[in-house]
């Protein structure tokens, strides 16, 4: 018997040859199969359909999948190994990657450098000529750590088990190294690379830099060493011209990482004379509120609902995801990324669909489905369940409660914000009217600004800051005060209060059949 087996993937037309016994999680991740729960058999995100061959039904499969699904050949990839040749059906998708081409002021520097946004889900790198501020190329990839969980807490738990942290460190260092090497080859670079600057959340910072994540697993959730880290490319196993230093920007405190420090640079919030907010709506929601004399930051475990996690048919903003939803002829319809058949729903679509369901009177202020409904149909076969609404309520309660805590420390409310920047892919696609309708954001929609990938833009700006002179980065970091929400006695009450939804019924002001996108304005502050 051969030690290798063949796996054919449809409709991709790919043929994989792997060692017998290879976990499907390892073989299928790069082909679009997601593992939101980290491969523990607790969700349905990694379903594949067996067209030929055999995958045994494990207790985990039987608990999560219905008898009808099992009979049709559906299995959980995370609970299976390739013991024999297989033909599997899976849907190809392309993740929506936010690069950045926003112009910014800079002082010319020397040579070439690279900026890397190390996200929980995706990695994006840009090669920059510091002499002219020109972006020579961009490359993106999935973060391979997602095989072990879609959210940061799942990865912390994996890291604390056996050799987990070493596995995650190796995965991310190798992935970023390949990304940069491919970028350099694609751009035809022959001159030395002077520097690589990276930004990411606190967990990504620790896992990449080799810092123990154990302190982040429990109260008070403070990093062991959140400062800037400098490594050499060669020591990371990278083959880059010039063996450049690799500088990971410092975190701000708790789970507020250098991606938000980069966001402060990108939005120039540190220069604003009026109260401004920056929110990164993800699994770990990070919130910045302040102006040029004082900036507060906080993070809250919003859960993965905004990224499609723990939602029955949830997925990331990718091909096949419903990204927008609205009311048409008394029912909910929507737009699918890629214009193909719907496979699931991402965070922006979920917010839209919940807002539409409120308008239709299908859910009440407590979040309970009304009229004997068990599901909310969107676009067949995609539907929303009662538990999906609860997950959304938990996520929006955490964000809205955290924002209110920070605003109260300024003696302010959402109405006092001059601007509210939304960072990242979710913020880029979310309809502000829908966010206001469900009570996620209580800020006037015309003040909500889709800011794009502020982490990448701010990191690129940091390429023009000298690493050895302190300068702007350190002065901004010193201006920021971290507020641990878990230590604030008001947070739990506000969290519960903000979970409630506004009353159902048609809005006086409707966004129309195709909701408008958030405003996109120049990031530089203009008084």
Q: What CATH code is carried by the domain that includes residue 61?
A: 3.10.20.30
C-alpha distances in Å from residue 85, one per residue of 20, 51, 332: 9, 11, 42
Per DSSP (E only), the strands in 352-446 are 375-377, 383-385, 419-423
In a shared domain, residues 155 and 253 = yes
Residue with tokens 């959210």: 151
In a shared domain, residues 355 and 245 = no
Domain that holds residue 356: 306-383
Q: Looking at 383, 410, 441, which one is the last position of a domain?
A: 383
**pLDDT value for 440:** 93
| Highest mean pLDDT, choosing among 72-76, 145-149, 278-282, 436-440 | 436-440
Is residue 134 in a domain?
A: yes
Residue 316: its H or E element: none
* Cα 507 from Cα 488, distance rounded (Å): 34
The number of beta carbons lying within 10 Å of the beta carbon of residue 86 is 23
> Which is more confidently placed, 143 or 517?
143
Is residue 488 in a domain?
A: no
At 91, the pLDDT band (50, 70, 90 cuts) reads low
Is residue 242 in a domain?
A: yes
The pLDDT of 311-340, averaged and rounded, is 90
In a shared domain, residues 126 and 262 = yes
Least confident of 133-137, 316-320, 412-416: 316-320
pLDDT greater than 70 at residue 523: no
pLDDT greater than 60 at residue 525: no
Indicate left, alpha or beta for 237 from its phi (over 0: left) and psi (-120 to 50: alpha).
left
Is residue 142 in a domain?
A: yes
pLDDT greater than 70 at residue 469: no
Question: pTM for this structure?
Answer: 0.81
Is residue 248 in a domain?
A: yes
The pLDDT of 507-520, averaged and rounded, is 43
At 103, the pLDDT band (50, 70, 90 cuts) reads confident
Contact yes or no for 350/326 (Cβ under 8 A): no
In a shared domain, residues 146 and 240 = yes
In a shared domain, residues 119 and 259 = yes
pLDDT greater than 90 at residue 193: yes
Mean pLDDT, rounded, of the chain = 87
In a shared domain, residues 75 and 173 = no
Is residue 437 in a domain?
A: no
Burial of 412: CB neighbours in 10 Å, binned 0-12, 13-18, 19+: middle
Q: Looking at 383, 417, 436, which one is the last position of a domain?
A: 383
The pLDDT of 486-512, averaged and rounded, is 79
At 481, the pLDDT band (50, 70, 90 cuts) reads very high
In a shared domain, residues 51 and 190 = no
The pLDDT of 501-507, averaged and rounded, is 80
**Residue 233 corresponds to which tokens in the numbers above?**
């490319």
Is residue 320 in a domain?
A: yes
**pLDDT value for 315:** 84
In a shared domain, residues 82 and 135 = no
Q: pLDDT, tens digit, for every residue of 223-275?
A: 889 899 999 999 999 999 999 999 999 999 989 999 999 999 999 999 999 99
pLDDT greater than 70 at residue 517: no
**pLDDT value for 126:** 95
Task: Count Cα atoms within 13 angstroms, Cβ side, for 192.
Answer: 8
**Percent share of the chain, pLDDT over 70:** 92
Q: Looking at 53, 74, 89, which one is the last position of a domain?
A: 89
In a shared domain, residues 129 and 77 = no
Strand partners, 276: 290, 419
The pLDDT of 312-321, averaged and rounded, is 84
Is residue 421 in a domain?
A: no
Residue 149 backbone phi and psi in degrees, to 5: 130, 140
**Residue 123 corresponds to which tokens in the numbers above?**
């990695």
């Amino acid at each position: 018997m051969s030690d290798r087996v063949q796996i054919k993937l449809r409709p991709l037309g790919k043929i994989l040859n792997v060692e017998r016994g290879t976990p499907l999680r390892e073989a299928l991740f790069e082909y679009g199969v997601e593992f939101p729960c980290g491969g523990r058999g607790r969700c349905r995100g990694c379903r594949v359909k067996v067209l030929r061959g055999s995958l045994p039904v494990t207790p985990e499969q039987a608990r999560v999948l219905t008898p009808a699904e099992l009979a049709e050949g559906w299995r959980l990839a995370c609970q299976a190994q390739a013991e024999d040749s297989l033909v599997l059906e899976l849907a190809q998708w392309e993740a929506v990657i936010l690069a950045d081409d926003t112009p910014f002021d800079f002082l010319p520097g020397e040579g070439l450098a690279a900026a890397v946004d190390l996200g929980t889900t995706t990695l994006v790198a840009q090669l920059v000529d510091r002499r002219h501020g020109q972006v020579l190329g961009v490359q993106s990839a999935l973060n391979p750590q997602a095989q072990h969980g879609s959210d940061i807490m799942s990865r912390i738990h994996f890291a604390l088990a056996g050799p987990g942290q070493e596995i995650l460190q190796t995965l991310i260092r190798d992935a970023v190294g390949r990304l940069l090497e491919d970028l350099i080859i694609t751009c035809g670079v022959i001159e030395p690379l002077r520097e690589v600057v990276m930004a990411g959340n606190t967990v990504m910072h620790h896992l990449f830099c080799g810092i123990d994540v154990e302190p982040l697993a429990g109260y008070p959730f403070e990093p062991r060493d959140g400062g800037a880290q400098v490594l050499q490319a060669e020591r990371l196993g990278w083959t880059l011209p010039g063996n450049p230093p690799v500088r990971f920007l410092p975190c701000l405190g708790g789970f507020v990482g250098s991606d938000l420090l980069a966001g402060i640079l990108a939005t120039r919030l540190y220069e604003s004379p009026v109260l401004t907010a920056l929110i990164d709506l993800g699994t770990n929601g990070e919130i910045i509120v302040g102006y040029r004399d004082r900036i507060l930051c906080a993070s809250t475990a919003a859960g993965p609902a905004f990224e499609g996690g723990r939602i029955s048919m949830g997925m990331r903003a990718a091909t096949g995801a419903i990204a927008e939803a609205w009311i048409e002829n008394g029912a909910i319809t929507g737009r699918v990324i890629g214009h193909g058949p719907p496979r699931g729903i991402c965070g922006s679509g979920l917010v839209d669909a919940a807002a539409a369901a409120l308008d239709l009177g299908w859910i009440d202020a407590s979040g309970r489905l009304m009229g004997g409904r068990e599901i909310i149909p969107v676009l067949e076969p995609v539907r929303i369940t009662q538990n999906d609404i609860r997950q959304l309520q938990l996520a929006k309660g955490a964000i809205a409660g955290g924002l209110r805590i920070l605003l109260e420390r300024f003696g302010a409310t959402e109405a006092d914000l001059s601007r509210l920047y939304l960072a990242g892919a979710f913020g880029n696609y979310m309809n502000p009217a829908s966010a206001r309708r469900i009570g996620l954001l209580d800020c006037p929609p015309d003040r909500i600004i889709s800011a794009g990938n502020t982490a990448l833009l701010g990191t690129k700006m940091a390429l023009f800051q000298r690493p050895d002179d302190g300068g702007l980065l350190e002065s901004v970091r010193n201006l920021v005060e971290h507020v641990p929400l878990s230590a604030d006695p008001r947070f739990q009450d506000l969290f519960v209060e903000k979970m409630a939804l506004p009353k159902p019924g048609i809005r006086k002001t409707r966004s129309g059949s195709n909701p408008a996108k958030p405003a996109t304005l120049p990031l530089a502050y203009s008084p």
